[in-house]
């Protein structure tokens, strides 16, 4: 009977444990993936540009440099990347509300792209 009682108590304690929502850090990764996918889509759509001197010198592109080369949509992409940077800073400072607001800004910017 003690095994049954112990098991019941353990199950009761586990079932009443609080459920934690995704942390802002987890959400940042998802939004970063959305921004990266938007940059990749726009890069694949062209128009193609000649290689820059930095590329010829084997410098790896950054998301910002790729976004800047996207022409008409580059402003929204760059602003989304900046919002992600602000979200990371807010998360590091422990400001979850500000972090989520910046992530929302980044998502709206990506959604506004043609």
Please tell me the total count of domains within the chain: 1
pLDDT band of 89, cuts 50, 70, 90: very high
In a domain, 8, yes or no: no
In a domain, 12, yes or no: no
* pLDDT at res. 13: 47
Q: Which domain holds residue 28?
A: 22-111
Q: Which residues of 3-40 are buried (b: 16+ CB within 10 A; e: fewer)?
A: eeeeeeeeeeeeeeeeeeeeebeebbeebbebbeebbe
In a domain, 10, yes or no: no
DSSP 62: P
In a domain, 34, yes or no: yes
Pick 82 or 56 by higher pLDDT. 82
pLDDT at 50 over 80: no
In a domain, 84, yes or no: yes
* pLDDT at res. 96: 93
Q: Mean pLDDT, to the nearest integer, of 60-80?
A: 70
* pLDDT at res. 38: 87
In a domain, 17, yes or no: no
Give the largest Cα separation in the chain, rounded: 77
Residues of the chain with pLDDT > 70: what percent? 59
Q: Mean pLDDT, to the nearest integer, of 45-63?
A: 67
In angstroms, rounded to a whole number, what is the distance separating the alpha carbons of residues 56 and 51?
7
Stated pTM of the model: 0.64
In a domain, 5, yes or no: no
In a domain, 105, yes or no: yes
């Amino acid at each position: 009977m003690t095994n049954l009682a112990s098991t019941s108590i353990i199950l009761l304690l586990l079932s009443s444990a609080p459920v934690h929502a995704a942390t802002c850090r987890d959400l940042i990764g998802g939004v970063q993936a959305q921004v990266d996918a938007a940059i990749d889509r726009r890069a694949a759509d062209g128009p193609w540009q000649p290689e820059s001197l930095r590329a010829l010198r084997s410098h790896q592109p950054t998301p910002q440099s790729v976004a800047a080369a996207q022409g008409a949509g580059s402003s929204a992409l760059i602003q989304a990347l900046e919002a992600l940077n602000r979200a990371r800073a807010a998360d590091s400072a422990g400001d979850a509300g500000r972090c989520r607001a910046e992530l929302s800004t980044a998502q709206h910017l990506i959604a506004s792209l043609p």
